[in-house]
Structure 1
Amino acid sequence: MKKRFIYSFILLAGLSLAACGGKGKTTESSTTAKSTEKTSQTTTATSKTTTKSSTSQSSTKSSSSETKTSESQSTVKSEKNTPAKQADTVLNQLKNDFSNDQLPQAILTSQTAVYLTAATTGAVDQGNFRILYYAEDHGIEVNDPAVNDLQPIASFEKKTYDSNEAAASAVNQIIDNGGSQINLGYGITGYQQGAAGSSFLSWQEGNWSLVVRASNIGGEVAEPLAKEAVAYLETAMLPAPQNVGQISLTASISDSYQNNSVVWQKGTTVYTIQHFDALQALKMAVSTNQ
């Protein structure tokens, strides 16, 4: 009897242990399944994130490439119309329009900051014409109506007369050797005298007569500009007058292009250059020899 009871107890204990072991395995299996599922979800999420990141990087690279292309196109477009190229275009067009004459090639005081343009008077006439030059902050076509509202910086004019005498008279050459003498350097003597609130310093160089006007009211002095002009003409060659030439410069600074003039005769023709800058007027005249 005692043996049966002991066997029954052992049997029941074994069954209980078996039941507990089965539950442990089931839980372990369930936990593994859930862990696998989570790993799978994490892998999928990571894959999506990687795809999005790759797409974003691709878009960024594409955008960067488009920006660089746009900048490159803008640079090329800008280089096509630089002030220097604009000036060359204008001067070449005028040279073709007035092919019988040597037009000035130096007009701007600086060709790096402004754009040159021009307007011609009336139809192209090889005997009589006038060119007005403009310096602006943007390119403008030659003879564009927009220049009508702008201020010229210089002009070049050709006028034909009936005789050499009429042309010489139109030059209005002034020779004045009166007043006090001033050494202008390079063996050249100038003569200075005053009249009506101004002083005039005159001298001769070949067939050219030159004069610098200074305002006494503004305390201006003619001598510095006169010496500067003499020094420049020692290294540069003006067109040769046939027979007379007159250069009139102003010591004062003005925006008016008529402030300084270079006028010379060539047979029955008279050429006139005007520029707001005194020395640039001389350089403009010299450049007709180029």
Structure 2
Amino acid sequence: MKKIISYSLILLATISLAACGGKTKSSENSTPPKQTEKSSQASTTTKENSTKSSTSASSSTKASSSSETKTSETQTAAQPQSNTPEKQAKAVLDELNSLFPNNTLPQSLLTSRTAEYLTAATTSTADQTNFRILYYAEDHPIAVNDLAVNNLQPIASFEKKSYGSAEEAAGAVGQIIDTGGNKVDLGYGITGYEQGAAGSTYLSWQEGNWSLVVRASNIGGEVAEPLAKEVVTYLEKAMLPAPQNLGQISLTASTSDSYQINTVVWQKGTTIYTIKHFDPLQAVKMAVSTNG
């Protein structure tokens, strides 16, 4: 039985807490140590405008053991139990920025429970050109790169990967431009194209160098159009990173606690950036927050 959970954004950049379906596959980083993930329920803490509609999702997917980032570092400092989620979020963000000083990291993401405490695990910081950060949200403070996260399930990830040429990087984006199927008015002068395949419906559209697609399961009775329109409306007032040269956003209308279900991938020369999040709209917001 599904349990409906409300979500809200945690804004890290302002000392508050703020993360595929489709037909594309996002690029993967160099193989990090294995991460054992543990299924968890989701709910949230908010600092967002109360006029924003809340997003809900149900916890239905159990995480599997796969080649995901696992911290190999011991706990650096005990987190005081008197710490607040806001203070913890700022501390985590500050530490990540100090670990990767030459990179612009996401400044906001959604946690998954009320009174949520953000933490993170990273691959080696020695390589500033190829790394991955996994983000977690728990009911108590945990230090960055604490071994305790090895048994937890991430809510989101941010990855940077470098390639030998711009052409190779462009291929890793896996951009899909699809203008077949039925036309759908997504608002703001944007036309989407919807068609079905293999039990799913795909709704695609273009915004600048970005290609976007929302997948909905026909079997589950899902509809792609509402999410597509929500993303289009949000992007009317928010700016995605400017890809050089390609960007691909692949979202799913399904609800899941797997952070890999929604992806945002973009190219800057020979570098590919990838964001993953269990919540589709928050994956987009997380990408927007990399603009600083």
TM-score by length of 1: 0.72
Question: 1:228 matched to which residue of 2?
Answer: 230
1:57 matched to which residue of 2? none
Identical columns (%): 75
2:268 equivalent among 266, 269, 278: 266
Q: Which amino acid aligns with 2:133?
A: I
Q: Secondary structure at the match of 1:263?
A: strand
* Contact kept? 1:175, 1:209, Cα under 8 Å: yes
Contact 1:264 1:272 in 2 (8 A): yes
The CA deviation at 1:161 is 0.4
Structure of higher RCO (CA pairs closer than 8 Å, 6+ residues apart): 2
Q: CA deviation at 1:173?
A: 0.3
Instruction: Tell me the distance in 1 between the aligned counterparts of 2:214 and 2:115.
Output: 29
Q: Is the 8 A contact 1:97 1:124 kept in 2?
A: no
Q: Which moved more, 1:105-114 or 1:210-219?
A: 105-114
Give me the whole-angstrom Cα distance separating, in 2, the residues matched to 1:265 and 1:207. 10
| Contact 1:221–1:251 (8 Å) recurs in 2 | yes
Q: Deviations over 1:3-46 (max 9, x none)?
A: xxxxxxxxxxxxxxxxxxxxxxxxxxxxxxxxxxxxxxxxxxxx
Q: 1:189 aligns with which of 171, 188, 191?
A: 191
CA RMSD of aligned residues (A): 1.5
SS of aligned partner of 1:255: coil
Displacement of 1:80 in angstroms is 4.9
1:158 to 152, 157, 160: 160
Quote how far apart the aligned CAs of 1:124 are.
3.4
The answer as to whether partners of 2:247 and 2:266 remain within 8 angstroms in 1 is yes
CA deviations over 1:127-154 (Å, ceiling 9, x no partner): 1000000000000000001100000000
Greater share of helix: 1
* TM alignment of 1:22-101, pairs within 5 A: 80-101=82-103
Letter in 1 for 2:240: L
Aligned partner of 2:208 in structure 1 is 206
TM-score (norm 2): 0.71
SS in 2 for 1:126: coil
Letter in 1 for 2:272: V
In the TM superposition, 1:108-257 aligns within 5 A as 108-109=110-111, 113-257=115-259
Question: Whole-Å Cα distance in 2 between the matches of residues 109 and 118 of structure 1?
Answer: 12
Q: Is the 8 A contact 1:108 1:116 kept in 2?
A: no
Per the TM alignment, residue 276 of structure 1 is displaced from its structure 2 partner at its CA by: 0.2
Name whichever of 241-250 and 119-128 sits farther off.
Answer: 119-128
Q: Which has the larger Rg? A: 1
Distance 1:111 1:285 in 2: 21
SS in 2 for 1:258: helix
Unaligned runs of 5+ in 2: 1-78
Q: Secondary structure at the match of 2:108?
A: coil
Q: Is the 8 A contact 1:248 1:260 kept in 2?
A: yes
Count of paired positions? 214
Q: Distance in 2 between matches of 1:79 and 1:258?
A: 30
Q: Does structure 1 conserve the Cα–Cα contact (< 8 Å) formed by 2:121 and 2:134? A: yes
How far apart in 1 are the matches of 2:133 and 2:152? 14
Give the corresponding residue for 1:13.
Answer: none
Letter in structure 1 aligned against 2:110: L
